[in-house]
Amino acid sequence: MKKMIALALALMMVAAVALAGAEAALNTVEAGKFTYSTSPDFPPFEYKDDDGNIVGIEPDLMVKICEKIGLEAVPMAMDFDGALLAAQQGKVDAVVSGVTVTEERKLVFDFADSYTTITQAIVSKDGTVTQEDLKDKLIGVQRGTTGNIYASDDFGDDHVAAYDTYTLVFEALQNGQVDCVLLDDAVAKQFIAMIPGLAMQPTDYPIEEYAFGISKGNTALLEAINGALAELIEDGTVQAIIDQYMAE
């Protein structure tokens, strides 16, 4: 009899744990989905393939993370500024867009753990524009990016031309409407590979850390993403995805 009671108690506990697990399903903007804003003008991190699908390091990573946490990854394309705002306003669950962790942004997002780093580089038509030259140049940037912030802070808005997408920034460079572009070096390399003639110079701006900006206050989601991300870093998946896109 005692054994029967013990068994019944054990079964009830298993059921209770299972129920608690089900109740703790992640709370997201749309049930069962992880909706994220992204500016897909940013190869190799996020861009549109020939069929218009949003692909790149981060969309691939997001699919892997979401498999682990039981959600479907759903990207929503918008300009970078809009992507930041959408997550800040809780219209999406996160901004996943090569976002650099900054003190200002920490006030409006809960950043997941960082998974890679970059630094700023200068791209110009013949690759001769250096950091010392910037004070005399018109610098093309994507609006709202760290490149925009550095250029405006250091040289004044008169020296800055801000565009909504990097596609437009690089068109302006090719048309001679700006002298150079200040942007993340990993992305600079991709544009150089795509557009003949362009070349880049390094800068001594600080190293920047990329992380997903989770809509503030969703601690369960943040922890789930960090848990999945840690596993994917540990087993080499993150590096494999980065290597795959950097090589292309």
Q: Which residue type is seen at 124?
A: S
The helix, strand and coil proportions of the chain, stated in percent and rounded to the nearest 5, come to 45, 25, 30
Our finding on whether 35 is near ligand ARG (CB under 6 A) is no
Residue closer to ligand ARG, measured from CB, 35 or 145: 145
Among 34, 36, 80, 245, binds ligand ARG (CB under 6 A): 80
- Give the binding range for ligand ARG (CB under 6 A) out of 38-46, 151-159, 193-201, 237-245: 38-46
Q: CA-CA distance, 176 to 170, in Å (whole number)?
A: 10
Q: Which of residues 83-142 bind ligand ARG (CB under 6 A)?
A: 97-100, 142
Residue closer to ligand ARG, measured from CB, 26 or 84: 84
Q: CA-CA distance, 76 to 82, in Å (whole number)?
A: 11
Q: Which of residues 204-223 bind ligand ARG (CB under 6 A)?
A: 208
Min separation Cβ 166 and ligand ARG, Å: 6
Round to the nearest angstrom and report the end-to-end CA distance of the chain: 67
Torsional class of 176: left (φ above 0), alpha (ψ -120 to 50), beta (otherwise): left
Cα torsion 41, 46, 50, 52 to 10°: value is: -90
Tally the C-alpha atoms within 13 A of residue 198's C-alpha that lie toward its C-beta.
25
Our finding on whether 191 is near ligand ARG (CB under 6 A) is no
Min separation Cβ 106 and ligand ARG, Å: 13
Residue closer to ligand ARG, measured from CB, 42 or 170: 42
Q: Are strands 180-184 and 41-42 parallel, antiparallel or unpaired?
A: unpaired
Our finding on whether 34 is near ligand ARG (CB under 6 A) is no
Min separation Cβ 80 and ligand ARG, Å: 4
The answer for residues whose C-beta is within 8 angstroms of residue 105's C-beta and 6 or more apart is: 84, 99, 111, 213
Our finding on whether 41 is near ligand ARG (CB under 6 A) is yes
Q: CA-CA distance, 92 to 221, in Å (whole number)?
A: 12
Our finding on whether 190 is near ligand ARG (CB under 6 A) is no
- Give the binding range for ligand ARG (CB under 6 A) out of 41-49, 129-137, 199-207, 227-235: 41-49
Q: CA-CA distance, 99 to 90, in Å (whole number)?
A: 17
Q: How many residues bind to ligand ARG according to rule CB under 6 A?
A: 15
Residue closer to ligand ARG, measured from CB, 110 or 184: 184
Binding residues for ligand ARG (CB under 6 A)? 39, 41-42, 46, 80, 97-100, 142, 145-146, 166, 184, 208
